[in-house]
Homo-oligomer: A and B are copies of this chain.
Amino acid sequence: MADLDGTTSSDLAALTARARQADAADPLAAVRDRFTLPDGLVYLDGNSLGALPTAVRPRIDALLDQEWGRGLISSWWDADWWRAPQRVGDLIAPLLGAAEGQVVVGDSTSVNVFRAVVSAWRLANADDPGRTEIVVDDTTFPTDGYLAASAARLLGASIRRRLLTESDAFDAHTAVVLANHVDYRTGRLWDLPEITARAHHAGARVVWDLSHSAGAMPIDLDRHGVDLAVGCGYKFLNGGPGAPAYLYVRSELQDRLEQPLPGWSSHAEPFAMEAEYRPASGIVRARGGTPEILSLLALEAALTVWEGVEITQVRAKSLALTDFFLDCVDALVEPGRFGCLTPRDDDRGSQVSLTASDAAELVPLLARHQVVGDHRPPDVLRFGFAPLYVGFAEVLRAAQVLAEVSRRPHH
């Protein structure tokens, strides 16, 4: 029996059964208990701000009451705040496919994009002087483009915006390629190994922004020879609002790094207070000023949710969740009501981007029904599926609510 919009109750029963089966078989189901989430909320915006890991609160309590409140200045050593940027970097490294000592945490993603692009430019031009161009992914997250343009102005470089999949995107003029791993808008996953190899073949250095992929899939930076990478701490890493970003610098490049935003904490002898800058060796050279410890240690505590989690399981669940969501939308929503920007093959991240002319109205309506996604102008509804805490029954519920609100006249 079909209801008003053509969905049969047997469709719904089949989807419900599929959700129940998938949740029962989910090897990550118990990980959700490591998060504090409001009852009844279907939170599909973890690609924008990850949910609160329960471990954060006691860590911050101790930081405030014991370390800052009682230990005061001595906590830089006694609580080892000093090495937190490297320590938290080493916690993130496995999610990036990076061996120890190549990731440092601190400053915003924007600041680290600037740091990475300038550093990569200098590396490329040290090896082969006269490279004049920074090639920026034509679909880049806008801020990355702003920072690349700012770096280019200071370096005397030119910027070329290109689709990085095009065979002539890079050439002998290219010093740096700034690439996004997953398109924030469409959810498209770009081919990191292939683009990296072609950039290297052209003699360029490549900087990957992993903000929308890290924590949702294996990345294998070491294996693919990536030069530098940046990414944000508050999406699939769940570090909290504005959590600090991370910067990966391939180990063999570290002692050649000439970064534009050094600080006393990246100095070879930070407490010697020398007038001249002498960079530290290793990943410490990529540090900047004093790290924002509250935000940094919240991220550290948040990373405990990954204990025992295989990133391959996360990827498998991510694909299953997004597949299931698309299937539910197909079954429950009137055909043609939404476009879909997200590839249906495996070249997608952990989000689904639908389009509709009334996207701006639909997103708050969904929220009123306890389904949180977000709107990206002009016409995109984004749904992010964080495999550590989103389940299949929730996905079905989100699609049901989407079907309901998109059926109603809401003007």
Interface residues in chain A, defined as those with a beta carbon under 8 Å from any beta carbon in chain B: 36-38, 41, 43, 45, 48-49, 51-52, 56-57, 60-61, 64-65, 67-70, 72-76, 81, 106-111, 114, 118, 142-143, 145-147, 149-150, 153-155, 161, 185, 232, 234, 240-245, 260-264, 267, 271-277, 288-296, 298, 367, 372, 374, 376-377
With A292-B295, A374-B73 as known contacts, state yes or no: A147 contacts B263, CB within 8 Å: yes
Contacts A56-B64, A288-B108 known; A293 to B114 CB distance under 8 Å? no
Question: Does B290 contact A293, Cβ atoms closer than 8 Å?
Answer: no
The answer to whether B36 touches A154 (Cβ under 8 A) is: no
Chain B nearest CB, measured from A48 CB (Å): 5
Instruction: Please give 14 more A-B residue pairs, beta carbons under 8 A apart, in addition to A108-B289, A146-B267.
Output: A36-B69, A52-B69, A57-B61, A107-B108, A108-B263, A108-B291, A110-B262, A111-B261, A142-B277, A143-B289, A146-B262, A150-B261, A241-B294, A292-B295
- Asked whether A76 and B36 contact (CB < 8 A) given A232-B290, A377-B273, the answer is no
B110, B145, B262: the one contacting A275 at CB < 8 Å is B145
Let me know if B114 and A261 touch, CB within 8 A.
Answer: yes
Quick check: A75 and B241 within 8 Å, CB to CB?
A: yes
Question: Taking CB as reference atom, which chain B residue is nearest A75?
Answer: B241
**A64-B52 in contact (CB<8A):** yes
Which of A51, A244, A298 is most buried by chain B, counting CB atoms within 10 A of its CB?
A298
Per assembly, the copies of the chain total 2
Least CB distance, A151 to chain B, in whole angstroms: 8
Which of A36, A64, A232, A296 has its CB near the most chain B CB atoms (within 10 A)?
Answer: A64
Residues of B within 8 Å of A244, CB to CB, are 292
In the complex the two chains form, is A49's CB within 8 Å of B72's CB? Answer: yes
Assess whether A291 is in contact with B154, with CB atoms less than 8 Å apart. no
6 nearest A-B pairs in the assembled complex, by CB-CB distance = A110-B289, A108-B289, A241-B293, A292-B295, A110-B263, A154-B154
Nearest-Cβ distance from residue A45 to partner chain B, whole angstroms:
5
Q: Which residues of B contact A292 (CB under 8 A)?
A: 108, 242-244, 292, 294-295
* Minimal Cβ-Cβ distance residue in B for A377: B272
Provide the bound-state CA to CA distance between A41 and B71, in Å: 11
Which residue in chain B gives the minimum CB-CB distance to A278? B146
Q: Are A110 and B261 in contact (CB under 8 A)?
A: yes
Contact A109 B289 (CB under 8 A): yes
Residues of chain B within 8 A (CB-CB) of A154 are: 118, 154-155, 260
Pairwise interchain contact A72-B57, C-beta atoms closer than 8 A? no
